[in-house]
Every structure is written in structure tokens, then in C-alpha cells.
Amino acid sequence: MDPLALAGFAAALALSTASPGPTIAALVARVLARGRHGAAAFCAGLILGDLIWLAAAVFGLALLAEAAQPVLAALKWAGVVFLLWLAWKAWTAPPVLPSDTPAPPGPGGRLALAGTTLTLGNPKTMLFYTAITPALLDLGAAGAAEFAALGLVLALVYAAVLAAYVAMALRARHLLRSTRAIRAANRCAGAAMAGAAAAVATR
């Protein structure tokens, strides 16, 4: 695949990923409320969702995906329910200082699945792969090798952007030095996730 085309795809993907939306809001709010616990699994799920959309675009399944509106609607509402559940968990989380926060094993698989579901049902992601990506790349000549190259670029770009958001959220979280501030941050995170759920639901 043309290196310039790959570079253009990477640049467009970075701009799309970095622009605030429901997935970024959910990730930042979760990190603010719970720290790094579960962030990697959630990010992996977000990336997997994009890879599925990329596969649909490359292998000509995007039109089929557009036709399967009931499935996409179900995924969208599943993402809404998950965001509302996260919002409730963040709002009601006990105000534990970061230095006192244990690192218990968590539902990594469930968080990864939730991230994937949220991405698959996100209209912004669907638009990127069904409208913008075909305008940037010659998908008619793309095959398994091209998909592998694009998938690698996607994973690297997405991981870098998400890691930056996680790092900023962790930095903000560690600036909180009182249980009162932690409680306020938890409730702000809960409100942000509820807002993200509303954004997904109304698109």
C-alpha cells in the first residue's frame, strides 16, 4: 500500500480519535473515578471495535453493516446502558485517595467487551469507516496484506492517543488530595459518562 495513503489514513484517524466523543469521555471519566484499573482492557475493546469496522470497510462489508440497522441500533443502546452503569458506579464510588487505592483483579473481559460494543455502536466511528476511509484509500484493491498494514497503523495510532488521554486523566486524579475532592471528581466523572450516554442515544 502507498506509504502516503497510509500516512493520510493515520493522520485522519489520529484527528478523529483525539476529538472528544462518547468513547473518550467514557475512558477519561472511568480513569478519573477508578484510576488505571481496567483502563487497558477498556482501551483494548475500543481498538478491537475499530478493527472490526476497518475489516468491514476493507472487505466490502460496510454496506451490509449499514443495512443491518437493527443490529447497530441494539449495539448503540447496549453502549448507552453500559455508560449509564459506569456513570452510576462512578457517582456512588467511595472517595478513596489514590495512594490508598488497592489494585484488585477486575472484570477485564467485561470491560473489553463493553469497549468493543461502545465503538461498534458509535455513529462517529461508523461514519469514519463508511465515508471517510473510502475517500482516503483505494479499498477496491485492498486485501489481507493491506488490511494487516492498516490494522497495525490503526492499533498504533489509537493506542498512542488513548494512552495520552489515560496519562492526563491519571495526572489529574493524582492532584486530588482530599476525600472531598475525590468525591467531587467521581461525581463529575459520573455526570460526564451520563452525558456521553445521552450523546450516543440522541445520534
Domains of the chain: total: 1
The whole-angstrom distance between residue 149's C-alpha and the CA centroid of its chain comes to 21
Distance CA 56, CA 172 (A): 37
- Full domain range(s) for residue 59: 3-14+21-95+103-201
Q: Render pLDDT for 134-167 as a digit per residue (tens, 0 to 9).
A: 777 777 777 788 888 899 999 999 999 999 999 9
Which pTM does this prediction carry?
A: 0.72
Q: How confident is the model at residue 18 (pLDDT cuts 50, 70, 90)?
A: confident
Q: Render pLDDT for 22-63 as a digit per residue (tens, 0 to 9).
A: 788 888 877 877 778 888 999 999 999 999 988 888 887 655
Please name the residues in contact with 188: beta carbons below 8 A apart, sequence gap of 6 or more.
Answer: 29, 32
Q: Which residue, 203, 146, 167, 175, is CA-closest to 27?
A: 167
Annotate the chain with DSSP letters as a single string: --HHHHHHHHHHHHHHHHS--HHHHHHHHHHHHHTTTTHHHHHHHHHHHHHHHHHHHHTT-HHHHHH-HHHHHHHHHHHHHHHHHHHHHHHH-----GGG-------HHHHHHHHHHHHHT-HHHHHIIIIIHHHHS-GGG--HHHHHHHHHHHHHHHHHHHHHHHHHHHHHHHT--SHHHHHHHHHHHHHHHHHHHHHHHT-
Name the residue with cell 445520534.
203
Q: What is the pLDDT of residue 191?
A: 75
